[in-house]
C-alpha cells in the first residue's frame, strides 16, 4: 500500500538487475486527442503570435503584470496557441504523428487543457475543453463556474478572475508504456504544459497564478472526470479587465455523463499504485517552512558560491513564439562546448524571478534543488554544481567529468554522453513531506517539469538541443551524485550543441 510520496517514488524506482521486459500493446494504443463527440465546438480566431519578443524579455525584472489587460476571444486564442499547439505532422506507416509545442515523456501527451470562461468578450460563459487538434473550444457545460471553482482553490479573498485554465492528466496515456511509474510523468508533463501557459500569459502581461493546492474532488467534479482515469493537477486563474456585464448564472448540469470521455482506449489497464500515490499526495494543502533550503538537505558538500555572470548581449536566434512552436526533443548532440554566454542565459532563465513570483505558490520554489553536471561548458571545470536560484550563484559539489557515468545510469542512452550539460532536479523526499506536507511531491515534480520546459524553450531560442530524461536507475543516480538516504533525482534535462544547429 502506497501511503507517502517516498513510498511511491521508491516503489517505482528502476533497478538495473530487476528490470523486466514490457511489450507495448500497439493495437490498444491510447487515443492522442480527447474528443467530446457531439458537443458544440467554438472555433477560435485564426491568430498569429501577437508579440515577437525574446524569451529573455519575459524574465525582465521590470516587466509588470497588468490586471486591466482586456482578455477577449482573439487574445485567448493567442494564449492557447503558445500554450498547447500541434506544430507539425509526420507519417509513420499508416498513422499520423503530431508534434506539439509541449515536451512529453515518450511523446504520449497525458495532459488535457480546459478553460472556464467567466468574463471574456466574444466567448460565452461556460466550461470548455481545448480541442488542440481542431484549434477550438468544445463547450461541455454552459454558465459561470466561478462560484464552483473560486472556493475550491481558495480565491475568495482575491478579485474575481475572468477565466481559469484547468490542467488534467489521463493516466493510461502514460501507463500504457511506463506502467506504475506513469504518475511521475503525468506530473512532469503537466508541469511542462503549465510553464508554456505561464510564458504565454507573461508575454501578454496578464496576472495569473499556478495553483497546485485545491480541493481535488470539487474541481474534478466540476469537470465531470472519471477520476479512476483522469484527474486535475493544476488550476491557473487569470485576471483581466472586467466587462460591465452582470455575472451570468451558475453552471448548468451536463447534458450527459462527462466521465465516459476520460476513456482513451478500448482495454485500459489500471495500476492501483498510481491511484494510491495520487490519494497519498491529496492530503491537505502544502505548507512550507520559511527558511527551507533544499540544497542543504541532500548531503552535498558545497564549495564557496560563485555569482552568475549574465551575458551583456543575450544570444537569441529565435523569438519567443518561434522557439515555442519549433521546440523539439533532440538527441543528435555533438561533443562541442556550450559557450559561456549561452550557458549563463540558460541559468538566468532558471533564476527568472518574475516568472517565479507571479506564477506559483510558495512551495513550488522550496520543493526542489536545481543542480547540473557540467561536461563541456566554456570557462567552467567539469563537475557537479548546485544553482541557488534566489541568490543567483553556483556552488561546486563534486569535481570531475561525470557525463559518461550519468549516461550509464540513464539506461545507457549513449547520446547523453555527448551533451554539454545535464540539468538535475533534486529533492529530499523525507524533508519535502515533513516541511511541505504530502502534497509537496506534486509541487516538486510539476516544478521540475516547469523548469524543464523553460530550458527547452530557452535552448531552442539559441538553436541548442534539449531533451528531458525521466528514465534512469534511481539508486545509481543518487549514489553517483552523492545524495543522502532520502535524496532523489526527480528529473534530468540534457542540453548542448546538436548536429542540426551546430555552426
In the chain (503 residues long), the average pLDDT of successive 10-residue segments reads 93 91 87 94 86 85 78 95 91 77 95 96 95 93 93 89 97 97 98 96 92 95 97 96 76 89 95 96 73 87 90 81 94 95 94 62 81 97 95 96 98 96 97 91 96 96 96 98 98 94 56
Does 259 share its domain with 328?
A: no
Q: What is the pLDDT of residue 360?
A: 60
Spatial separation of the C-alpha atoms in residues 373 and 141, rounded to whole Å: 48
In 400-486 the beta strands, taken as DSSP E runs, fall at: 421-428, 465-469
10 domain-assigned: no
122 domain-assigned: yes
Does 260 share its domain with 299?
A: no
5 domain-assigned: no
Q: Is residue 278 helix, strand or coil?
A: helix
Query: What is the DSSP secondary-structure string of 198-252?
Result: HHHHHHTT-EE--B--S-HHHHHHHHT--TTTEEEEEEEEEE----SSPP--BPP
Does 212 share its domain with 332?
A: no
Q: What is the extent of the structural domain holding 155? A: 28-280
Does 337 share its domain with 246?
A: no
Q: What is the pLDDT of residue 329?
A: 93
Spatial separation of the C-alpha atoms in residues 447 and 201, rounded to whole Å: 17
Does 308 share its domain with 273?
A: no
Whats the size of the chain, residue-wise?
503
Does 250 share its domain with 331?
A: no
The number of distinct structural domains making up the chain is 2
Does 271 share its domain with 330?
A: no
Does 415 share its domain with 472?
A: yes
Q: What is the pLDDT of residue 227?
A: 97
Does 185 share its domain with 328?
A: no
503 domain-assigned: no
289 domain-assigned: no
Spatial separation of the C-alpha atoms in residues 330 and 327, rounded to whole Å: 9
Domain endpoint, select from 229, 253, 280? 280
Element of type H or E holding 329: none
Element of type H or E holding 100: strand 95-100
Chain-centre distance for alpha carbon 39? 29
Domain endpoint, select from 257, 280, 303? 280
Q: What is the pLDDT of residue 158?
A: 86
285 domain-assigned: no
C-alpha cell at 280: 497519498
Spatial separation of the C-alpha atoms in residues 299 and 478, rounded to whole Å: 10
* CATH code of residue 202: 3.40.109.10
Chain-centre distance for alpha carbon 138? 24
Does 317 share its domain with 363?
A: yes
235 domain-assigned: yes
Q: What is the pLDDT of residue 289?
A: 61
Spatial separation of the C-alpha atoms in residues 22 and 175, rounded to whole Å: 12
Does 440 share its domain with 384?
A: yes
Does 270 share its domain with 300?
A: no
416 domain-assigned: yes
Q: Which residues contact 115 (CB under 8 A, 6 or more apart)?
A: 76, 80, 127, 128, 130, 137, 163, 164, 165, 166
Spatial separation of the C-alpha atoms in residues 13 and 181, rounded to whole Å: 8
* Residue 48 phi, psi dihedral angles, 5° rounding: -105, 160
Calculate helix-pair angle for 182-203, 440-461, nearest 10 degrees.
60
Amino acid at each position: 500500500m502506497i501511503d507517502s510520496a517516498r513510498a511511491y517514488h521508491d516503489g517505482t524506482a528502476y533497478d538495473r538487475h530487476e528490470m523486466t521486459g514490457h511489450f507495448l500493446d500497439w493495437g490498444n494504443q491510447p487515443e492522442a486527442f480527447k474528443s467530446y463527440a457531439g458537443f458544440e465546438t467554438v472555433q477560435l480566431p485564426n491568430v498569429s503570435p501577437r508579440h515577437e519578443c525574446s524569451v529573455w524579455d519575459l524574465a525582465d525584472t521590470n516587466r509588470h503584470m497588468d490586471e486591466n489587460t482586456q482578455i477577449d476571444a482573439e487574445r485567448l486564442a493567442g494564449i492557447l496557441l503558445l500554450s498547447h499547439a500541434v506544430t507539425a505532422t509526420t507519417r509513420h506507416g499508416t498513422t499520423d504523428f503530431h508534434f506539439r509545442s509541449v515536451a512529453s515523456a515518450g511523446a504520449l501527451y497525458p495532459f488535457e487543457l480546459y478553460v472556464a470562461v467567466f468574463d471574456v468578450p466574444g466567448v460565452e460563459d461556460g466550461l470548455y475543453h481545448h480541442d488542440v487538434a481542431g484549434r477550438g473550444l468544445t463547450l461541455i457545460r454552459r454558465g459561470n463556474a466561478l462560484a464552483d471553482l473560486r472556493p475550491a482553490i481558495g480565491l475568495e479573498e482575491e478579485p474575481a478572475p475572468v477565466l481559469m485554465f484547468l490542467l488534467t492528466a489521463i493516466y493510461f496515456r502514460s501507463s500504457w508504456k511506463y506502467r506504475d511509474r506513469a504518475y511521475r510523468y503525468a506530473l512532469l508533463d503537466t508541469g511542462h504544459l503549465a510553464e508554456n501557459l505561464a510564458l504565454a500569459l507573461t508575454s501578454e502581461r496578464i496576472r495569473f497564478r499556478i495553483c497546485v493546492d485545491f480541493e481535488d474532488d470539487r474541481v474534478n467534479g466540476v469537470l465531470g472526470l472519471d477520476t479512476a482515469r483522469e484527474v486535475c493537477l493544476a488550476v491557473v486563474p487569470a485576471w483581466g479587465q472586467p466587462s460591465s456585464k452582470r455575472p451570468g448564472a451558475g453552471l448548468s448540469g451536463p447534458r450527459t455523463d462527462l466521465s465516459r470521455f476520460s476513456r482513451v482506449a478500448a482495454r485500459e489497464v489500471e495500476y492501483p499504485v498510481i491511484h494510491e500515490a495520487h490519494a497519498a499526495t491529496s492530503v491537505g494543502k502544502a505548507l512550507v517552512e520559511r527558511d527551507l533550503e533544499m540544497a542543504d538537505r541532500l548531503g552535498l558538500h558545497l564549495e564557496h558560491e560563485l555569482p552568475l555572470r549574465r551575458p551583456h548581449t543575450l544570444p537569441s536566434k529565435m523569438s519567443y513564439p518561434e522557439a515555442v512552436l519549433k521546440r523539439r526533443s533532440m538527441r543528435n548532440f555533438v561533443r562541442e562546448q556550450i559557450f559561456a554566454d549561452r550557458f549563463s542565459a540558460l541559468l538566468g532563465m532558471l533564476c527568472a524571478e518574475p516568472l517565479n513570483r507571479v506564477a506559483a505558490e510558495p512551495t513550488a520554489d522550496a520543493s526542489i534543488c536545481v543542480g547540473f553536471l557540467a561536461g563541456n561548458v566554456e570557462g567552467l571545470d567539469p563537475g557537479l554544481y548546485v544553482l541557488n536560484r534566489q541568490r543567483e550563484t553556483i556552488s561546486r559539489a563534486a569535481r570531475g567529468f561525470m557525463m559518461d557515468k550519468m549516461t550509464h545510469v540513464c539506461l545507457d542512452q549513449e547520446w547523453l554522453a555527448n551533451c554539454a550539460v545535464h540539468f538535475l532536479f533534486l529533492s529530499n523526499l523525507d524533508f519535502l513531506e515533513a516541511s511541505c506536507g504530502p502534497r509537496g511531491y506534486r509541487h516538486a515534480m510539476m516544478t521540475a517539469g516547469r523548469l524543464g520546459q523553460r530550458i527547452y524553450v530557452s535552448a531552442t531560442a539559441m538553436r541548442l538541443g534539449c531533451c528531458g530524461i525521466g528514465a534512469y536507475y534511481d539508486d545509481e543516480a543518487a549514489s553517483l551524485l552523492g545524495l543522502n538516504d532520502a535524496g532523489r533525482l526527480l528529473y534530468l534535462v540534457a542540453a548542448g550543441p546538436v548536429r542540426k544547429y551546430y555552426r
